[in-house]
Amino acid sequence: MRTSGNSKSADLPDIPLIDLGSEGPQALCRAEPKLLVAIMHRGRDHYGPAAVSLGDRLSRRWLAKAANPYLAEIDAVSEAVGEPGAHLLNLSYEWACTSGIGPDPDGPGSRLLRTLDWPLHGLGENLVVARHQSEAGEYYNVTWPGFAGVLTAMAPGRFSAAINQPPLRRFTPSCWFDWLIGRLGVWRQRELPPVHLLRRVFDTCRTYEDARRMLTETPIAMPAFISLSGAEASEGCVIERGRTSAAVRDAPCSVANHWIAGSGDGHPRGWDSPGRWQMMEDIRQTAAADLSWVAPPILNPTTRLAVAANASTGMLVVQGWEADGPATNLFRL
């Protein structure tokens, strides 16, 4: 039985807080080389050496053709690793997630609750929180060494945000064929991947409204669900994005991995998306910030991290998970 990880344990590692200043992900690789190696080895174990080598070459080729603004950073990470994997892992989008947004029941502002599910082992135990100083202000990125995008972050006084995956679009009865068709469709695009758009938002947007506008209007290379929580209790939304379209639901609201406001169908992602969404709807307004709300079905064998964030108070609580339970102690900012 999996238990809540909201207590301190000498057997579990602490999540490091790394101050990167204005430097990019290569600085995080220098700061945590052992975690970088561990993540890359887990990726090769998961995908297989041949698939990693081929996928890495194709991923870099696509980033170059798209004139991706973060290619040089990913190249530097690849050089630091010294073997294939960095480009592929930066374009891997096989996760499921559950998120909820609403007024914080414990104080001022709006709160983001979020879990990320991914069958790649080692993500929970190798988590870091990186502090970035950008032109728009500081933000705290819940991430891994070698990753150039942003999946979950909190910018004090501005906003918090996280990305979920929509269902895999259905073209045929086969999930595998549809994955291949969908990936070939992505290779024809030249827009930013969602995780790179979210990084741009944290780097350049000074207000919730600026972030909402950019996340709603900027074309992206593939669909995404984006949860955005502002500094005011009234600021929050879920943006269900197509490549060039957007359906916006204002907070209080929740999202898992199925369409609600937007139109779409597809193969489900993760464990019991409707059940996870309903549980988040039920607990969103009362859940404690200590992550004691992380329980089945939101918690499942692929859960790798849980987060509570409030940009108004600067609160950030993070914990890593692996298949057998908590993988880190609680991080509290």
pLDDT tens digits, 161-206: 999 988 866 555 544 444 454 555 566 777 999 999 999 999 999 9
Q: Which amino acid is at 130?
A: A
pLDDT tens profile 73-101: 999 999 988 888 899 888 877 678 999 99
Cα separation, 164 vs 284, whole angstroms = 17
Residue 206 structure tokens: 């000074």
Q: Amino acid identity of 327?
A: A
Which domains does the chain possess?
A: 17-24+95-332 (3.60.60.10)
Q: How far apart are CA 137 and CA 231, in angstroms?
A: 14
**Average pLDDT rounded to a whole number, residues 36-48:** 86
pLDDT at 263 over 80: no
**Residue partners of 121: CB distance under 8 A and separation at least 6:** 42, 45, 46, 322, 323
